[in-house]
Each structure stands twice: as C-alpha cells, then as structure tokens.
Amino acid sequence: MDTECLAQRQDISSMIYLDTLLFEQITSEFKKLMSKGAMTSSLNVTYDWFIKFHEYIQNDDRWEVMRNIVPISVQDIKDDPDRITEEHQKAIGTIQKSLNGRVRDYVTLCFRSFIKEALGIPTNFIHDPTLLEEIKEIGFTKLPDLQDEQLNKIDNFLRSQTIYGGDNQEDLTPITLDDAKAHHLGHIQTEDLINSIDVLYAGTDPVFLSIAENYMNHPVIITNIQSWWSFPGHKEAKNAQFFHLDLDDYRFCKGFIYLTDVDQNSGPHCYIPETHKFDTILEAYSNASDKDEYINWYTETLRKTDEDCRHYLNRDFENITGKRGSRLMVDTSGIHKGLLPVEGKRLILQFLYAQTAYTHSPVELIPFSSFITDQPEHIVKHFEHPTVQYALQLFVDFSA
C-alpha cells in the first residue's frame, strides 16, 4: 500500500463523522432533475463519472476509508442516482465541519489517483510558482490580464445575451439590462454562455487551468460557468453580498474575469485572507471566548456580518480591485463576498474548477464539431488537448 495513503488512512480512520449535515449553499439541482427521471446530457456525464469513481474505490483496498466517507456502492447508484448527491454533499459538509486537513488531503489523494490511474488524464501545463504560492497562502491570486482581443470578443458576446433578473435563482425572468437594475444582480444563463467558443477558451486558458490543476494536484473539471451584472442604487446588500463561504466540492477554486473596471465603489470581490485554511479557522476557535457559539457561527450561519467576521477572525478584509480584463483565482471556501456597488455597475465572468464531475448547471452538451469548424489551428489544438477536454466534459461533447 502507498506509504502516504497508509499514513493518512491510519490517522483519519477514527475521525470520520457521517452525520446528516447538509450546508444550505450546496446546490440540489442534480438531485431535483434526477428525481424527475430526466437526465440531461451533462447529468449523464456526472452519472458516468461517479459510477467509474465508485467502481475504482470499490475494487481497491487503498480506498477503504473513502468507502466509509461516501458509503454507497455502484449498485446503490444504479438503483437510485439521487444517492450521488445525497452522500457526496453529506461528506463535503462533514469534512468542512470536522476542520480536519488530513481528511481533506486523503480525499484529494484518492481523486488524484483515480484521475491518473483509472481515467489516464495527464497534467502537463506549466505554472507560475509565485501565483500558486499566493493562492495557497492567502486564498487568492491576481493573474495576468486577459488580452484585449479576446476580452473584447467575450465582452461583446456577454452584452448581447439575455439578462435574467430576480431575487432568487429559481425565480429568474428575462428582462432588459435597464430593467435588471431594479434588482441587485442580473444573470446570464449558463446554457447561453457555453455557446461562445471565446468563453470556453478563456475558462481553459493555460493561465487558469495550470493554477487550478497545480493547486489541487490533479486535472480539474469546470463544473459551472456563470456571469452576472451587479448594480448600484440599493440601500442594503443581499445574498452573496454578505460574507459567506462556498462548499461546491471537496476542494475547488474559482476563476474570475472582470469585464468592467472595478474600483472600491463598483463592487469588488472582498476576501478575508487565509480563511480557506482549516488552521486559520481552528486558531480563531482556540481564541474564541464561547467556542460553541463560534462553531455554530462558522458552520451554520449562511450569511455572515462584517461585525461578526471582525469579532471572530480578527483579520483585515481585502477588496480585490482591477481594471477591465483583470483575472483572479480564488479559493472561495474561504470567507468572501461581492461588495454592493455604490456607483458603476460591474460585469463578471466566473469559472468553477472542481475535483469531481458534479454538475451545478445541467445543460445539453454542445457538439464539438459545431463550434470548432473554421477555427484557427491553434484554437483547434487547444481544444484537442486531453486536459482541456477533461475540463469541459460537462459542457462539450467531444465525440460529436
């Protein structure tokens, strides 16, 4: 047995708590659609990926502990695909609640071995050690700006798309950009975003992919693509404009592109450095006068106030500003928010880089042949790269 795997297995096997905790911010879209018996193409990809993963850990004794962390068999999934969502969401929440870094490292080792041994996906993008060290240390890093030509193509595409306004994701309705200003945010649908080859190219740019892959130690899957406007003119923040943390996967990071100039008044991304580290959260726990109150605040309070963050964490907030075309990579398991704009609207594009193939925005796959025709040779070669195809498997059918 691999020495690293054995050491982690012995250390963590007694620390697996499989309770019923499900954090509110984890989406349930996959479960809802599966329960209706209607699997879209991306849901088929999710289903197949998890079948392969559970076959892998079911047949390899190195991953006995992983079978305890996510106690479902291949047959369980075939009998009831909802179990994928139920058990993996439960495990993600439990690991976050336990604040045990060795458990998380063990899970990462398991996924890395699966991707390498069972799927045969290579990792060979070059990374910048300085940028990688920044996201590891403080939870985010600013990347080189997007080139003007590509930026303009994406900007023009986004501004031509239908805007959806509403206070809740479930109640979004198509409206004009002017009418969307009555809401805090105006969204562009994922199913529209994936029709742009420039958006897909930006999300799989080696600058983004190399940082994400090296941060998580294995090839990643883009499990969500989002874009939205943030509008000024509102007295109070709403939803993700309050501090919160994301639980989109066991480990993940998000790439952001600013499509407008973002200063202190136009809704910059705000991050509390080092809160992506369990050690930081445990240090705050040790300093808390009421430890039960602190743990309840960290694990159960969905939207966190500035005052509580200062009280419990005693850390400065960092507003990440940037000109149009700025790119960020952020581990949003750390505590963060998008500030409410005071003046000037903000347009942003976001990519979620994850460990697993859990689809957050189920869509019909785009046939590869439909958007690669007549593209320059360097674009064709980019999308033929195995790591790029692995990253885009929830959005593009590379066999069609």
Of 118, 140, 167, the last residue of a domain is 118
Regarding beta strands 396-397 and 366-367, do their DSSP bridges make them parallel or antiparallel, or are they unpaired?
A: parallel
Q: Are residues 79 and 133 in the same domain?
A: no
Q: Which string of b and e fits 42-62 if b means at least 16 CB within 10 Å?
A: bbebbbebbeebbebbeebee
Let me know: does 260 contact 347? Beta carbons within 8 Å: yes
Copy the structure tokens of residue 145: 């700006």
CA distance 177 to 65: 50
- Write down the pLDDT at residue 5: 46
What is the CATH number for 249? Answer: 2.60.120.620
3-class secondary structure, 337? strand
pLDDT reported for residue 84? 94
Helix ranges (H only) for the chain are 3-12, 29-35, 41-58, 64-69, 74-79, 82-98, 101-113, 129-138, 148-159, 177-180, 190-193, 197-203, 206-216, 278-287, 291-300, 306-313, 368-372, 377-384, 386-391
Give the position of tokens 């850390």.
315
Verify that 81 and 108 share a domain, yes or no.
Answer: yes
Which of 114, 153, 106 is closest to 12 using CA atoms? 106
Q: Which two tokens stand for residue 48?
A: 């197949």
pLDDT for the residue 41: 84
Q: Which of 177-181, 186-190, 243-247, 288-292 has the lowest mean pLDDT?
A: 177-181
Q: Please, which residues have CB within 8 angstroms of residue 202's CB and are 6 or more apart in sequence?
A: 146, 150, 154, 208, 257, 349, 351
**Would you say residue 223 has pLDDT above 90?**
yes
Residues 114 and 172 in one domain: no
Which residue has 């305890």 as its token pair? Answer: 68
How far apart CA 202 and CA 212 sit, in angstroms, is 14
User: Domain end: 83, 118, 153, which one?
Assistant: 118
348 has a pLDDT exceeding 70: yes
Position 25 pLDDT exceeds 50: no
Whether residue 155 is found in the same domain as residue 219: yes
How much of the chain, in percent, has pLDDT values that exceed 70? 88
Residue 36: inside a domain, yes or no? yes
What is the pLDDT at residue 275? 98
Whole-number percent of the chain with pLDDT over 90:
82
Convert the pLDDT of each residue in 41-77 to its tens digit: 899 999 999 999 999 999 999 999 999 999 999 999 9
Rounded distance between C-alpha atoms, residue 347 and residue 80, angstroms: 40
Residues 169 and 249 in one domain: yes
Say if residues 78 and 11 touch (Cβ distance below 8 Å).
no
Encode burial over 285-302: b for 16+ CB neighbours within 10 A, e otherwise: eeebeeeeebeebbeeee
- 190 occurs within a structural domain: yes
Counting the structural domains of the chain, the total is: 2
pLDDT tens readout for residues 2-11: 444 444 444 4
Give CA separation, 283 vs 61, 280, 333, in Å. 35, 5, 17
**229 and 304 co-located in one domain:** yes
Q: In terms of domains, do 276 and 356 share one?
A: yes
pTM given for the model: 0.90
For residue 60, CA distances in Å to 57, 218, 296 come to 5, 19, 37
Q: How far apart are CA 36 and CA 255, in angstroms?
A: 32
Average pLDDT over every residue of 213-232: 95
- 124, part of any domain: no
List, in order, residues 6 or more apart from 335 with CB less than 8 Å away.
243, 244, 245, 271, 272, 275, 304, 309, 313
Q: Is the domain of 161 the same as that of 109? A: no
Show the domain range for 50: 3-118
Average pLDDT over residues 258-285: 97
Chain segment 144-184, per-residue pLDDT in tens: 999 999 999 999 999 999 999 876 666 789 999 999 999 99
Q: Does the residue 80 lie in any domain? A: yes
- Which residue among 59, 91, 118 closes a domain? 118
Question: Is 260 in the same domain as 311?
Answer: yes
Answer whether residue 109 shows pLDDT above 80: yes
- DSSP code at position 351: E
The span from the CA of 140 to the CA of 272, in Å, is 10
The structure tokens 């100039």 sit at 261
- Find residue 222's DSSP bridge partners: 353
Least confident of 94-98, 155-159, 201-205, 345-349: 94-98
Q: Are residues 17 and 78 in the same domain?
A: yes
Q: Let me know whether 139 and 97 are in one domain.
A: no
Do 287 and 240 lie in a common domain? yes
Confidence band of 274 (pLDDT split at 50, 70, 90): very high
Nearest to 251 by CA among 174, 176, 358: 358
Q: Is 123 inside a domain boundary?
A: no
